[in-house]
Structure formats: structure tokens, C-alpha cells
Amino acid sequence: MNNNSKPGGLILADAHVHIYNGFNLETLLSGALENFKKVVPRQGLRSPWSPFLFLAETKDENWFSILSNSAAGNNTFSPKGIGKWSFQNTREDCSLYGHLNEEEGFFIIAGRQIKTEGNLEVLALGNSEPFEEGRPVKELIQTIGKRGAIPVIPWGAGKWLGARGETIKNLLQSQQGPLFFLGDTRNRPVFWPKSSIFEQAASKGLKILPGSDPLPLLSHNKVPGSYGFRLEGEINSDYPFKSIKKLLLDPKISVVPYGSQEGPFRFFWDQFCLRAKARI
């Protein structure tokens, strides 16, 4: 990793990544790298290119802290299962760089997934500290913004319907509401009608940040990196989160989704496995 700015490079980002305790971390990291490389042919990428994984950790998960301790050389982390992967801290508390070798790696950004009052979920991208759960969504989004993180309300099956959907619509309609993004996920199947909330957000000029959103199933161990967004801009590898946040807040910068969403068979099979207690 070169500690300098990279003008005009391609940026690939998965904005919603879970690391479950039953996942093999080396498999997840190597799978994510391969998924990033498949987005466009390797020889067709502009140099340099900068991949990002944004974590969405619940209150019971703390993988970013574990990886950050590994990068610092602390003995609290056992390298078992990491294989050839190594980690370097940046000059930010919320980011690090994971690399397979000198040429291949990606930035890992800390993030939290928080349940709000009414059981909506909100992501705080670029923050490793926990948040109080059960708070009103507007209040939580304001707190996330004050901490310097990026608030995202991700799509979830059935979670944007009824009163919860109205809550999001009201936030979008508010002229004085806090700034936030919406998130789309790989788990929204191709046959599921796209929510009008996405259209409302687009009409307001708000960006949609897609992510793979792995489920707690072993078949999802290699999902990270397969669904996300791309954009172009300058990334300072000392301050990768600050760099990409600046680009996302720039109304002139376009965010383009990449990847394919679930087909009918895979969607219903995943739902069956979740309900059959086949979770890891």
C-alpha cells in the first residue's frame, strides 16, 4: 500500500458486509478479492484501483477491532485461518488495509448495524464504536452524522412496508432532516418490485449505496465484494474513509451499482435455510 493520493482511480465498494462467527475469514477475504476482480477484466481497470469493504457489525460483533489489533501486532489476535492475509492500520481509527500480497488487497472500513425504535435497521459506516439501540431513527441518524460516520438505511425484506416505510418517506420529505443514504442489497430478489422509496430518494438527489449483505449461512461466506457500487475519484491511502466519504458527499460524483441480485430459487432456498435453523 502506497501512502499517497491516487487521482482518477476506479473505486469499488461493498457497502454492507457482515462477518459471522461461523465464517472462515481467509475464505471471506480471498472470495471478496476475487469478486472485486471479476467486476471488470483485470487488464481493463484504470490504474490504480481501490476496493473497499464496509463492515456492518452488530452489538455482539467486533471483527474490526480484532483485525486492527492484528495490524498493530497485538497478541490478542490468533492468526489461525487468515493464511497469507496481513493487515495494516491507516492513520484513521476506522479503517485498515488487508492485503494478500504487495499487489492485491483492499480497504476495510469499520461500521455498525443498529436497530432503531420500530425495528428499522441503520448502518453507521466509518465508525467502530457501538450505539444505543431502540432510539428513534431520526435521532440515531443525527448521532451517526455527529460522529463523522455515514448513516445508511438499508433495504430489508418487508422492512420498508407499513409504518416503517412511512418513517423513511417522512425523513426524505423533511427539508430539515438529517443527511443519510439508502442501501440496496444483493438479497433483494430480481422479482421483488423496487420500492418507491428508492425513486423518492433519487428525486431528492440522494445516493443509493448497494452492498452484498451476507446472511448467516455458510453458502454466503464468499458473497462479500460481489454486489456494490463503483465510482471514480482520488483516494488517499492514509485516510481512505475520509477520501471516499468526501466523494460520496459530492453531488457531482455518480455512484454506479454493480453485481447481480438473487434469482428466485436462491432467494427462497436462503429463506428456507434461515427458517429451518440452518444458520451458522
How far is Cα 239 from Cα 245, in angstroms, rounded to an integer? 10
Note the helical H segments in 7-47.
25-38
pLDDT, tens only, 215-246: 999 999 999 999 999 999 999 999 999 999 99
Is the preceding omega at residue 51 within 30 degrees of 0, hence cis?
Answer: no
pLDDT in tens, 194-213: 899 999 998 888 999 999 99
277 pLDDT more than 60: yes
Of the candidates 132, 115, 125, 121, the one whose C-alpha atom is nearest the C-alpha of residue 160 is 121
- Which pLDDT value is given to residue 2? 52
Element (H, E) at 228: strand 228-236
Burial class (CB in 10 A: 0-12, 13-18, 19+), 105: buried
- Is 60 exceeded by the pLDDT of residue 81? no
Domains in the chain, CATH or no CATH each? 5-275 (3.20.20.140)
- Residue 188 burial (C-beta neighbours within 10 Å; 0-12, 13-18, 19+): buried
Cell 445508511 -> residue: 152
Per-residue pLDDT tens over the stretch 111-136: 999 999 989 999 999 998 999 999 99
Lowest-pLDDT range, 1-10, 95-104, 135-144? 1-10
Q: Is the pTM of this model over 0.75?
A: yes
DSSP 96: E
Handedness of CA 20, 103, 256, 137 (dihedral sign): positive
pLDDT category of residue 75 using cuts at 50, 70 and 90:
very low
